Amino acid sequence: MMANRTRALSAALMATAIALPASADWRLDEASSALHFLSTKNAQVTEVHSFDSFTGNLSDDGKLRVAVDLASVNTAIDIRNKRMQEMLFNIKTFSEATFEASLPKTMQNLKKGQVVSGKVDGILTLHGKAVPTSFSVTASAVDDERLTVSTTAPTLIKAESFGLAEGVAALQKIAGLNSITTTVPVTFSVTFKQ
- Tell me: the pLDDT tens digits for 75-112? 999 999 999 999 999 999 999 999 999 888 788 778 89
Confidence tier at 25 by pLDDT (50, 70, 90)? confident
Quick: pLDDT tens for 126-155.
Answer: 999 999 999 999 989 898 888 888 999 999
Q: Pick the more confident residue, 61 or 157.
A: 157
Q: Pick the more confident residue, 31 or 104.
A: 31
Cβ atoms of residues 163 and 128 within 8 Å: yes
* pLDDT value for 24: 56
Confidence tier at 194 by pLDDT (50, 70, 90)? confident
The overall average pLDDT reported for the chain is 87
| 66, β-bridge pairs | 56, 99
What percent of the chain lies above the pLDDT cut of 90?
Answer: 71
Quick: pLDDT tens for 63-84.
Answer: 889 999 999 999 999 999 999 9
Q: Which CATH superfamily is domain 2-193 in?
A: Lipid/polyisoprenoid-binding, YceI-like (2.40.128.110)
Q: Is 106 left (phi over 0), alpha (psi -120 to 50) or beta?
A: alpha
What is the Cα–Cα distance from 51 to 79, expressed in whole angstroms? 16
Give domain limits for the chain. Answer: 2-193
pTM: 0.83
Cβ atoms of residues 86 and 30 within 8 Å: no
